[in-house]
């Protein structure tokens, strides 16, 4: 694809928490650096039956999973079609993260569902998806993918922290982009909020009312994941196998477990931020996005641990909610331009790579046609 003045692409993000689909229609412009504008963005809740199917997708047999893959792609496609009709949008493509079912890069396995053919046919637009598989094949973690967007769209921040189902952080270290998952986040917080009858801990009020449990905090800090160095990532499997056995104690209240988790997460993230601050810099900037940015209690705990060296910045609501969808739109654009959209310095792959599978028919002004 040859350069053109403006690229309009829809980014779709179905997060690990599994509660809805983030849709962001974005314009991208390039002069010396990339710039962007989010034209319209919404979160569309999953229909209850689909939500339940996605949350239990890892338990399905192969045939059932293939059927869900097609069903989810069709639902996303129709949702995008309705979104574009509603706002009179005409994107050149849709870039979809899909919904992660399995993520075991150590055995070269990563599976995101939301079939590209059904998404493209149901929406009427070309689609780019399956961004992780090439990187995993090349020996990488296939995650996180957002850091190239941090590097090119949010250059003014020293650190970028996303608090979704999993917390991950991105930073520049001597001209090299580093990023990795730091700890679980909403996947665990929501698990214990549900025990109190709420889908999430609004403002962190449950955690604020609890008391940190020292012995559980110590056990969490000693889990194997935190002994790893370099590129590392977390998946649902880690939550089930490593974290829940430590936390599912009937003799502790959900409030106390939430307080303990918030303290643990703040410790994990602060440790990474402070270990990567530049010695000559005072008050570097940490951008915080994702649903966890609304957890006032957690934000206060994290800020108390880093404020001597780093300013914690909560951006406008649209960036908090839709930064990942924005960046996936950008990853799709880089794929169409045949530019690397996954960094080996982040994932541990053997080389930088340009991931994503293209579905549909492209014919853009001043470009060649792409048929798949």
> What CATH number was assigned to the domain covering residues 7-130?
3.30.420.40
Q: What is the pLDDT of residue 281?
A: 64
pLDDT of 364: 53
How does residue 366 score in pLDDT terms, banded at 50, 70 and 90?
A: very low
- Beta-strand runs (E) in 142-175: 159-163, 166-173
Give the pLDDT band of residue 368 (cuts 50, 70, 90). Answer: very low
Beta bridge partners of 128: 95, 358
pLDDT at 2: 54
pLDDT exceeds cutoff 90 at 136: yes
pTM, to two decimals:
0.87
Question: Domain segments of the chain: what residues?
Answer: 7-130, 148-320
In this prediction, residues 232-260 reach a mean pLDDT of 90
Please tell me the predicted confidence (pLDDT) of residue 18: 63
For residue 338, the model assigns a pLDDT of 95
- Over range 339-363, report the average pLDDT: 93
Residue 92 burial by Cβ neighbours in a 10 Å radius (0-12, 13-18, 19+): buried
Q: What percentage of the chain carries pLDDT values higher than 90?
A: 82
Burial class (CB in 10 A: 0-12, 13-18, 19+), 314: middle
Is the model's pLDDT at 245 over the cut of 60?
A: yes
Query: Distance between CA atoms of 131 and 96, rounded to whole angstroms?
Result: 8
Give the per-residue pLDDT at 370: 45
Asked if pLDDT for residue 202 goes beyond 50, the answer is: yes
CATH number given to 148-320: 3.30.420.40
Instruction: Report DSSP state, residue 310.
Output: E
Same fold, 7-130 and 148-320: yes
- 106 has a pLDDT exceeding 50: yes
């Amino acid at each position: 694809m040859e350069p053109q003045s403006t690229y309009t692409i829809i980014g779709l993000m179905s997060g690990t928490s599994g509660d809805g689909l983030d849709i962001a229609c974005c314009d991208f412009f390039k002069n010396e650096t990339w710039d962007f504008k989010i034209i319209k963005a919404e979160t569309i809740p999953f229909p209850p039956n689909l939500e339940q199917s996605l949350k239990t997708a890892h338990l399905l047999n192969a045939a059932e999973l293939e059927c869900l893959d097609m069903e989810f792609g069709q639902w996303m496609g129709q949702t995008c079609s309705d979104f574009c009709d509603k706002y009179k949008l005409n994107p050149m493509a849709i870039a979809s993260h899909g919904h992660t079912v399995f993520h075991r890069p150590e055995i070269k396995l990563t599976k995101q569902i939301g079939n590209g053919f059904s998404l493209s046919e149901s929406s009427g637009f070309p689609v780019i998806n399956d961004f992780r598989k090439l990187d995993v094949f090349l020996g990488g973690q296939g995650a996180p993918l957002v850091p190239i967007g941090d590097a090119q769209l949010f250059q003014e921040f020293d650190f970028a922290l996303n608090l979704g189902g999993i917390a991950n952080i991105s930073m520049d270290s001597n001209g090299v982009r580093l990023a990795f998952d730091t700890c679980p986040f909403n996947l665990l917080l929501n698990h214990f909020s549900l025990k109190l009858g709420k889908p999430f801990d609004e403002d962190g009020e449950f955690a604020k009312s609890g008391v940190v449990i020292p012995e559980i905090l110590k056990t969490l800090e000693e889990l194997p994941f935190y002994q790893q160095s370099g590129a590392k990532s977390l998946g649902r499997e880690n939550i089930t196998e490593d974290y829940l056995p430590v936390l599912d104690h009937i003799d502790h209240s959900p409030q106390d477990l939430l307080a303990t988790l918030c303290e643990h997460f703040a410790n994990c993230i602060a440790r990474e931020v402070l270990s990567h601050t530049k010695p000559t810099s005072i008050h570097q900037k940490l951008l915080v996005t994702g649903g966890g940015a609304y957890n006032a209690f957690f934000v206060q705990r994290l800020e108390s641990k880093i404020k001597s060296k780093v300013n914690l910045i909560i951006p406008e609501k649209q960036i908090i909610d839709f930064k990942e969808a924005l960046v996936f739109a950008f990853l799709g654009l880089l794929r169409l331009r045949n530019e690397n959209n996954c960094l080996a310095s982040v994932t541990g792959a053997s080389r930088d790579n340009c991931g994503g599978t293209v579905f549909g028919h492209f014919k853009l002004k001043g470009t060649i046609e792409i048929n798949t």
